[in-house]
Amino acid sequence: VWGFAGGCTEKKSKAVAEREVRVTLEPLQKRVFRRQIPVQGTVWPVEYATISAKISGTLELLKVDEGDSRKKGDVLFGIDRQILKNQVTVRENEVDVKIAELERAKIVAERANITLAKAKLDYERFLTLWESQATSKTEFETYETTFKNAETDVREAEADIVNATAQLKQAEGNLTIAKKNLADSVVPAPFDCVVTDKYIEENEYVSVGQQILRLENPVLQEVICYISSVYYDQVEAGRTPVRFMLDGVDKGRAVVTYKAPSIDPESRTFKLKMLVPPEVKLVSGTLCDISIILEEKEAYGLPADALLLRANDRYIVYAIGPDNRAKSFDVVRGIVDGKYCEVLNATELLKERFVVTGQTFVNNGSLLREIKTKQ
């Protein structure tokens, strides 16, 4: 009798539980997507000016200092004003003298014309008498000479009028210059401004063209930046929107106000300008973060990390099926805006909920366990 020493060994089978992948799920989200270029630009005042002396003289009045604010028309400084006032008075007197001289020349001319008229009558009468031999040739020649002298006196008087008129115009021109110098001696603010630089102190002598003050309008500002030439045809002055950013937060919007008419051949960039919105407070000369929006639209999308790259530049996402198992869908990517990506074929996916975390551990058919996130 043959027996088995160890008896009969019973095989035991153990059920192995299928591993669940813990994931969070999210449907397609409707949101605004922007294709934009983040750049930095320099803040510049739209209105600024370097004020120079229009006349030479002593800066006898300087009513501002660096940092002072002034309204348009407020006096900034004055140069040798009393001397220039005296020059205006002198020129006014010269004009009065020349007016008197012109009037005198007109009176002299009027008298000369009266004398000429009488001399002409006498000449014509004695010419008739001489032709009829009723007077002597000597007497006739005397009246003839008087007539010719009278004609010369008239021409001379008319020339004096022309000369006096020219001298009056010259005096009036000198008066205009004197008045302009007086006006130029006191310089008002050309716009609402703050004084950013002062180059001359009061009572110093200044020459024509010498810089005295630099002014800026701190309210009206613009940002100037340069971007790659590849975007040249995608930006339009007056239409392309811009966002002003501070620590990643949208602080205000504007539009591109200026696009350079050409591209710099060395850097392959072009210049843009945009006005700073009134609610955005910036200091001229600083750098400002902006986003130039090339395209903006409302669409459906998912977190960009939910889209997985596969061969041949194909992207997929995993959704949860009714049996809690993963199923993959091909997606067509659109605009990637921050952490979200637009899904162009969203219409066919609106009823699904997609894996947005834990997706790297998921394959088709994987058993999924949804983890609820705190709202």
Contacts of 166 (CB under 8 A, 6+ apart): none
Q: What is the pLDDT of residue 11?
A: 43
pTM listed for this prediction: 0.66
> Do 174 and 94 contact (CB within 8 A), yes or no?
yes
Residue 239 has a CB neighbour count (10 Å cut-off) of 8
Q: What is the pLDDT of residue 291?
A: 94
Q: What is the pLDDT of residue 1?
A: 38
> Terminal CA-to-CA distance of the chain, rounded, Å?
75
Q: What is the pLDDT of residue 374?
A: 62
DSSP character string of 120-170: HHHHHHHHHHHHTTSS-HHHHHHHHHHHHHHHHHHHHHHHHHHHHHHHHHH
Please give the single-letter amino acid code of residue 265.
Answer: P
Percent helix, percent strand, percent coil in the chain, to nearest 5: 30, 40, 30
> What is the rounded CA–CA span in Å between residue 360 and residue 364?
12
Q: What is the pLDDT of residue 6?
A: 46
Q: What is the pLDDT of residue 271?
A: 97
Query: Could you tell me which of 230, 231, 271, 225 has the C-alpha nearest to residue 245?
Result: 225
Q: What is the pLDDT of residue 16?
A: 61
> What is the rounded CA–CA span in Å between residue 107 and residue 242?
76
Residue 244 has a CB neighbour count (10 Å cut-off) of 22
Strand-strand pairing, 249-259 and 75-79: unpaired
Query: Could you tell me which of 209, 258, 202 has the C-alpha nearest to residue 77?
Result: 202
Question: Which stretches in the chain have pLDDT values below 50?
Answer: 1-15
Instruction: List the Cα angle 200/206/211 in 5-degree steps.
Output: 55
- Give, for 119, the enclosing helix (H) or strand (E): helix 81-131
- And the tokens for 198? 């002062």
Q: What is the pLDDT of residue 81?
A: 81
Work out whether the CA dihedral 242, 246, 251, 257 comes out positive or negative.
negative
Contacts of 128 (CB under 8 A, 6+ apart): none
Helix (H, G, I), strand (E, B) or coil at 258: strand
